Amino acid sequence: MDVFIVTGASKGIGLELSTQLRAKGNKVIGIARTVPVDTEDFVVADLAQTDGLAGMIDSLIEENRATATSFTLVNNAGMVDPIGLIGSVHPEEMAAAMSVNLTAPMILSNTFIAKLKDYKGPKRIVNISSGAGRNAYEGWGTYCATKAGLDHFSRVVTLEQANAEYPVDIVAIAPGIIDTGMQETIRASREEAFPLLERFIDYKEQGMLSSAEHTAEKLISFMEHEGFKVVGPIADIRNF
C-alpha cells in the first residue's frame, strides 16, 4: 500500500489531499493541530513546536515500513502570518512562522531521508511552496523568506540525492491562489500592513481563486503522472 504523510491535514488543501488520496485506496497519515471529523490515522502535533518532530516521523515510518509499497511526505502545513512591513511585526510571530513553514519541513524531510536510506521502494517529498517564494511582496517578509528557503532546500536535496543509492525524489510546487482560510486571513489584513490587499480582495470578488478540491486533484495527478527528476526541484501546478 502506498503511504502518504500529509502535514496541515485538517483543513484546506491538506484535508482535500488526504480525503482524495484515501478514496484512491492509499494509506494517509494526517498531521495537524486539530483532528477532522471521521478521520483515521491522524497525529495531533503543533509544527511550531519542533522538538518532537523527528521522533514522530521516525515512528510513523517504522510502523508502516513492512507493508508500504512507497512513501510520500507532503509538507503542506503553512501560515501566512505575520502580515506586516518589516519593522512592525512581532518577533514571536516571525519565529512561529519560521518553524511551521521552514524548520518543520526541513526536520521532517531530514528524518524521512535518514530513516528510508536503505528502503528500495519509491520515496518522494512534496513541499507545498508558493509564488511568494519566487517573488517579493511588501508585507510578506516572513512568508516570502520561508517559502524561498523551502524552494532552495529542495534544490539542495535534489543535488544530494542524485548520489544516493536509493534516492528520494523531491519537488517544491506552488499550488496557485486557492480559496482557503489563508486567503481569508490575507483579506482580513490592513492595507498599511499589506499594500497589495485590494488585489487579493479582487481575486475573490472576480472568482479567480481555485478551490481546494480542484487544487488537490491537480496535485494528486501531478504526483501520479509526473517524474520529479524530469520536472526538477521547482514547479508550479498551473503548468501541468
Residues annotated as catalytic are 143
Residues 6+ positions from 59 with CB-CB distance below 8 Å: none
Taking the C-alpha atoms of residue 125 and residue 129, their distance in angstroms, rounded to an integer, is 12
Which residues lie closer than 8 Å to 108 by C-beta, 6 or more apart? 5, 7, 53, 54, 57, 73, 75
Closest-CA residue to 114 (of 82, 155, 67, 161):
161
Other CB atoms within a 10 A radius of the CB of residue 39 amount to: 16
Distance CA 180, CA 184 (A): 7
Rounded to whole angstroms, the Cα distance separating 59 from 142 reads: 31
Residue 208 and residue 2 in contact, taking contact as beta carbons nearer than 8 Å: no
* CA–CA gap between residue 32 and residue 10 (Å, rounded): 6
